[in-house]
Amino acid sequence: MARKPARHPTRRATAKRAPRPKKLKLVTTTMEMREPQHRPAALPLGIKVALLRAETPTVSFYRYLYNTVGAPAFWCARRTLDDAALGALVADPQIELYVLYVGGVPAGFAELDLRQGTEIELAHFGFVPEFVGAGLTDYLLGWAVGEAWRRAPERLWVATTNFDHPTVLAAYQKVGFRAVSQETRMIADPRATGLLPKDVAVSRAALGG
């Protein structure tokens, strides 16, 4: 009589778990101004510029500005919006988008949010990578602050994070903003979740925690 082969315990296939997204430390500093503190700076000599309001920006144009300027600073909130939601947002007349052109191409932008009644938020400010360090910060930031104060708000405020360019905090202080609060929290790495390209560099200050 043939012997039956011995039974061995069945091994369950072990499913490989996807690596958990890396956590990053996000430090958000809120800054404010209660009265005008700064005169707009002059443009650097020899640069041809135009500063225009995008009165009815298309979604594709806004995404280009937001994604190109914001990727190094880990701007993600508006990347999560679909075209309909983003289109409705940028079409709001209380959202004012001002684009700085240098030599006919977009170099940076400032966005004012007037939806808060007596307060105005400098919601976004920055430059495309090719124009970072081109000496345009004082001009564009000073102009945006001056434009906000032309509306006579009770408060002008901005939020900056540890992902922003290292010179941004000093630029905000130079035009008159002062820090009033700071919050630290851990966030999922947006590069791991697909919100940002994987090759976007992150500052050492944002690692760990």
Per-residue pLDDT reduced to its tens digit, 20-70: 558 999 999 999 999 998 677 777 778 899 999 999 999 999 999 999 999
The CATH code of the domain at 23-206 is 3.40.630.30
Which of 10-19, 93-102, 134-143 has the least mean pLDDT? Answer: 10-19
Q: What is the mean pLDDT of residues 183-200?
A: 93
pLDDT for position 7: 56
pLDDT score of 208 more than 80: no
pLDDT for position 195: 92
pLDDT, the chain, mean:
89
pLDDT for position 207: 62
pLDDT for position 15: 53
Q: What is the DSSP string of 95-107?
A: EEEEEEEETTEEE
pLDDT for position 43: 78
E strand map for the chain: 23-33, 49-53, 95-102, 105-116, 119-127, 155-161, 178-188
pLDDT score of 209 more than 50: no
**DSSP state for residue 208 in the 8-state scheme:** -
Q: What is the pTM of this model?
A: 0.85
* Residue 49 and residue 102 in contact, taking contact as beta carbons nearer than 8 Å: yes
Q: What is the mean pLDDT of residues 118-133?
A: 96
Contacts of 151 (CB under 8 A, 6+ apart): 114, 120
* Residue 140 and residue 41 in contact, taking contact as beta carbons nearer than 8 Å: no
**Domain positions in the chain:** 23-206
pLDDT score of 152 more than 50: yes
Encode pLDDT of 161-189 as tens digits.
999 999 999 999 999 999 999 999 999 99
Main-chain dihedrals φ then ψ at residue 118, nearest 5 degrees:
-85, 0
pLDDT for position 8: 52
| Of 22 and 2, more confident | 22
